[in-house]
Structure 1
Amino acid sequence: MTAPTPTDSAGPAGGTAPPPAARLRDLLPLLRPHRRRLLLAAGLSLVGAAAALAQPALVARVIDVVGAGEPLLPAVGLLVVVLLAASALSALQQFVLQRTAEGFVLTTRFALVDRLLRLPVAEYDRRRTGDLMSRVGSDTTLLRATVTSGVVDVAGSVVVGVGALVAMAVVDVWLLLVTVLAVAIGAVTAVLASRGVRRLSQRAQEEVGAMTAAVERALSAVRTIRASGATAREVAAVGASAWRAYAAGVQVARLEALVSPAGSIAVQGAFLAVLGVGGYRVTSGSITVASLVAFILYLFLLVMPLGQAIGAWTQLQTGLGALTRIQEVLALPPEDDERPQRAGSRPAGPAAGAPLLELDDVSFAYPDGTPVLHGVSLQVAAGSRVALVGPSGAGKSTVLALIEGFYPHSGGAIRWAGTDVRDLPRAALRARLGYVEQEAPVLAGSVRDNLLLTRPDATDPELWAVLADVGLTDVVRRSPRGLDVLVGDEGVLLSGGERQRLAIARSLLARPELLLLDEPTASLDARNEGLLRTTLAAASAGRALLVVAHRLSTVLDSDQIVVLDEGRVVARGTHDELVGNSPLYRELAAAQLLV
């Protein structure tokens, strides 16, 4: 039996309730490490706003100087200096913002990756790998806009807008009232149009996550798909997922497209109204031409940051939709690797007469209550070899998963050297265990990278020695790169047996006190099975072995063989004893021509 599977995989969260929508204040903890650069960008934005607000007054001064026949150079020179300073400040602010945004995305990705790699194993069963990858990639990228076009730009826009309103009131109150009325209509329309952006953006990101998961699923099984003649069907399936992501993205684009025309209408309406009313007031002598020009420039200073603020608000809604998905992962509790140790709970060798590992009436059930194990009890003494056998689905692999702490057992107790494993730090316990999974995962990279995963300080002679133990020396020496020969993605450049032996070598290198082997010979031919059996026999002199096996020939010489059926221990003993008193074991042995 393999590891427990999810009972409900609908949706990105496994059929659970949708996460609460993220709020603006939820950004603050993520922005806090970058507060100094954000304050610098805000300061530059304020200085830039002051320079922008000074420009209309300086233009009006140039017009007055020309009308009065005074020297033009000082007024023009000051205007040019302010223009250049404003441009330089804007460029510097954008650089600071972009750098801050990249740092913001980086720290968010670090936090996500750290949490993703520390989640309880059961959490991976409920979620799709591609969707989790999408949160690290595309969702964090969307957050960048909340910094570059969001918080700081809104602050600068508010300063410029308020300053422009004050200056416009000084120039002419009636023109200000006309402007405010026209701009308010457009602004309210734009804000109302952007209200649904967050919800639609979150849905679009969920569809992108589903599409990424579909691509990851297809690529991971591409050889099986090709051999099954299913390429066209898989292309269609992934294409359907891509189409749903496209449709969701179009909905977001349609809603965002309503925002821009509303802002444009407000700007054009305000400009035309000011020209009409302002022209009348100039002809009536209420204001001068220079004042009207200054007012129009202030109008542009008002509507430009207003447009930026509306755009920033829309970007912020999109970013908050992505933040909701990111927070969903960050809110998941990590596996507790550092549980506090109780007095006397330090992992140690067993006391005299105590087993190294003991399962005492252990039960386990799926989250929906479906039982898997019923009162399983067994003991593994130091230096002994114990085998778990039985038909498929009997619960053998689940026993190993519970020992490793991948899932919490429902009842009974699992003890290491007499101490309940729930009282021990999980990381400290796992340091005493070696575990080789049934599928023998091999990481992309080199042989050296895979071996050093368990012992990063191992020397080359130690690596060669453990490769010799599992019969991989000749395989590695075939390449001039030696230990640095690449194994391909998921070990695709190795045969199934070579992947299995490399995984076993990786565990042996860590020198565990108890080695857990799940079907260690499943992918080995008869010659290599015999070689590995000899290796394991030698390795067991310094450690205990708990082996799950379908091939009974692998475990015939075990000190004890435990027979599982439908999650229960139905027999235990040596091979000869079980052949005589266990009908199920005798049936299994007969099927493999061992009796």
Structure 2
Amino acid sequence: MIHAPAVTPDATSAPSPVPTDPSRRLDWRRLRGPVAAVALLALTLGAVGTALGTVIAGRLADDPTTALLALLATCVVGAALFDTAGQVVWAGVVDRAEGKLRGDLLSAALHQPLATLTEQAVGEVLDRVDDDTHAVGTLVRRQLWGAGRTLVGVLPMWVVAGVTWWPAWILFPALAALAALLVRPMLGEIARRKVIEEAAWTDHAAAFEESVAARNDLRTSLGQPFAIRRLAQRSAEVHRRFRDVVTVEAKMLRRAGLVLAALLAGVAVAGTAFASSGGLPVDRLVTLFLVTAMFVGQVDNLIHHLPDIQEGLGAITRIRQMLSVVPEPAGGASVPDPRSGSSCATCTSRTPRARSPCRA
């Protein structure tokens, strides 16, 4: 797969105007519609059902009855069905939008001015149309759906935890903000190293394509060892850059995971202590532990997807830059009628029988 380097905005360049043509815009309007609203409604119902399932599970642990067991199964299974159905519907909406975007981007790429096309690297148009659109589709289909599940599900979980144990009203947002503060400084470093990695991928692809295009010359001049060595060097550089990115990502995940694990362990120890002293019933202890574990899992899942979200946002930036390029003017001036008295506005004295060429 060919990766193009992410383009960083230049502070000295003026911002490009927002295109008025809908086919040259890349925003949320490509996804709007009643089907997308149904998918988001299913996502919300699934998140609320999961949060309610923790309350029922706590009561079931204290007083197990058939009615509570049936209600728990309804909430858990119903939430899973709503989430799965919503994700399938959402994937269909995104697939149709991705196909439309691919067509609009191809049309915009083919209508670029020749001066712009000559400045583009080999395979860049194919990379935009194929790889970047796939990256954007994956971002919206998977990462944004997971982020939406986290953002929608965290609110009812927080409410359930706060009602169950009042310190959770303060503890949950405080530790979530602490995790965000620990993660945020590393996102810039990940983005910087990601740009270098994608540039290394582009150099690797260019070396491979040049070797393929010059295969006859390399065969006759015995330059095959040189091409293989150059491609191996580019491959080693790609692996080094990828290792640099993974190192920072692993450090970020360790920091965030430590904070979230501390939240889960602290709630478990404190809840057990309160339950032992009689200050917290067993059903509330079970509910608190379940909702805390789900909260930690959702936030940790979102943090794991942050590097992928950054990569998708870079693809969106590159696609928007190509869509914002002013297309080559279509049409042109009409062919003058040779029977007319004048062929242009400058040479008004020319007659149909004049033999001297117009020098306007």
With structure 2 as the length reference, what TM-score do the two structures score? 0.80
1:59 is paired with a residue whose SS is helix
Amino acid at match of 1:185: L
Deviation of 1:419 after TM superposition, in Å, equals 11
Deviation of 1:323 after TM superposition, in Å, equals 2.1
Amino acid at match of 2:88: F
Residue in 2 that maps onto 1:130 = 123
Deviation of 1:281 after TM superposition, in Å, equals 0.6
Residue in 1 that maps onto 2:301 = 308
- CA distance 1:313–1:253, shift in 2 (3 Å): same
**5 Å matches for 1:513-528?**
none
Deviation of 1:44 after TM superposition, in Å, equals 1.5
Amino acid at match of 1:273: G
What is the alpha-carbon distance in structure 1 between the residues aligned to residue 124 and residue 203 of structure 2?
6
Deviation of 1:82 after TM superposition, in Å, equals 1.6
What is the alpha-carbon distance in structure 1 between the residues aligned to residue 193 and residue 292 of structure 2?
33
What is the alpha-carbon distance in structure 1 between the residues aligned to residue 207 and residue 245 of structure 2?
22
Matched-pair identity in %? 19
- CA distance 1:419–1:173, shift in 2 (3 Å): farther
Amino acid at match of 2:201: V
- CA distance 1:323–1:236, shift in 2 (3 Å): farther
Amino acid at match of 2:127: S
Residue in 1 that maps onto 2:191 = 198
Residue in 2 that maps onto 1:48 = 46
What is the alpha-carbon distance in structure 2 between the residues aligned to residue 174 and residue 12 of structure 1?
47
Residue in 1 that maps onto 2:73 = 80
1:196 is paired with a residue whose SS is helix
Out of 346, 364, 372, which is 2:334 matched to?
346
Asked if structure 2 preserves the Cα contact closer than 8 Å seen for 1:133 and 1:209, the reply is no
Determine which structure has the larger strand proportion and give its number.
Answer: 1
Amino acid at match of 1:346: S
5+ residue gaps, structure 2, are 344-356
Residue in 2 that maps onto 1:31 = 28
What is the alpha-carbon distance in structure 2 between the residues aligned to residue 244 and residue 330 of structure 1?
31
Deviation of 1:91 after TM superposition, in Å, equals 1.6
Deviations 1:85-107, CA, capped at 9 Å, x for gaps? 11212222222333334334333
What is the alpha-carbon distance in structure 2 between the residues aligned to residue 354 and residue 284 of structure 1?
105
Amino acid at match of 2:31: H
What is the alpha-carbon distance in structure 1 between the residues aligned to residue 227 and residue 295 of structure 2?
53
Deviations 1:173-207, CA, capped at 9 Å, x for gaps? 13554555444433321233223333333343333
Residue in 2 that maps onto 1:63 = 61
Deviation of 1:46 after TM superposition, in Å, equals 0.6
Asked if structure 1 preserves the Cα contact closer than 8 Å seen for 2:150 and 2:298, the reply is yes
Deviation of 1:28 after TM superposition, in Å, equals 7.7
Residue in 1 that maps onto 2:346 = none
- CA distance 1:45–1:142, shift in 2 (3 Å): same
- CA distance 1:212–1:19, shift in 2 (3 Å): farther
Deviation of 1:287 after TM superposition, in Å, equals 0.8
Asked if structure 2 preserves the Cα contact closer than 8 Å seen for 1:109 and 1:136, the reply is yes
Amino acid at match of 2:28: L
What is the alpha-carbon distance in structure 2 between the residues aligned to residue 329 and residue 353 of structure 1?
45
Deviations 1:304-329, CA, capped at 9 Å, x for gaps? 22123323443222211222222332
Out of 227, 230, 236, which is 1:237 matched to?
230
Amino acid at match of 1:198: A
What is the alpha-carbon distance in structure 1 between the residues aligned to residue 75 and residue 261 of structure 2?
27
- CA distance 1:231–1:112, shift in 2 (3 Å): farther
Asked if structure 2 preserves the Cα contact closer than 8 Å seen for 1:12 and 1:131, the reply is no
- CA distance 1:352–1:80, shift in 2 (3 Å): closer
Asked if structure 1 preserves the Cα contact closer than 8 Å seen for 2:5 and 2:198, the reply is no
**5 Å matches for 1:132-531?**
132-338=125-331, 345-348=333-336, 350-351=338-339
Asked if structure 1 preserves the Cα contact closer than 8 Å seen for 2:25 and 2:323, the reply is no
Deviation of 1:294 after TM superposition, in Å, equals 0.3
Deviation of 1:250 after TM superposition, in Å, equals 2.7
What is the alpha-carbon distance in structure 2 between the residues aligned to residue 212 and residue 154 of structure 1?
33
- CA distance 1:205–1:350, shift in 2 (3 Å): farther
Asked if structure 2 preserves the Cα contact closer than 8 Å seen for 1:179 and 1:273, the reply is no
Deviation of 1:18 after TM superposition, in Å, equals 9.1
Asked if structure 1 preserves the Cα contact closer than 8 Å seen for 2:154 and 2:295, the reply is yes
Deviations 1:531-569, CA, capped at 9 Å, x for gaps? xxxxxxxxxxxxxxxxxxxxxxxxxxxxxxxxxxxxxxx
What is the alpha-carbon distance in structure 1 between the residues aligned to residue 267 and residue 280 of structure 2?
13
Asked if structure 1 preserves the Cα contact closer than 8 Å seen for 2:95 and 2:137, the reply is yes
What is the alpha-carbon distance in structure 1 between the residues aligned to residue 12 and residue 306 of structure 2?
22
- CA distance 1:324–1:239, shift in 2 (3 Å): farther
Deviation of 1:293 after TM superposition, in Å, equals 0.6
Asked if structure 2 preserves the Cα contact closer than 8 Å seen for 1:149 and 1:315, the reply is no
1:173 is paired with a residue whose SS is coil
1:45 is paired with a residue whose SS is helix
Deviations 1:23-79, CA, capped at 9 Å, x for gaps? xx999834322222443332221111111111011112212323xxxxx21110111
2:296 is paired with a residue whose SS is helix
What is the alpha-carbon distance in structure 1 between the residues aligned to residue 173 and residue 113 of structure 2?
56
Amino acid at match of 1:123: T
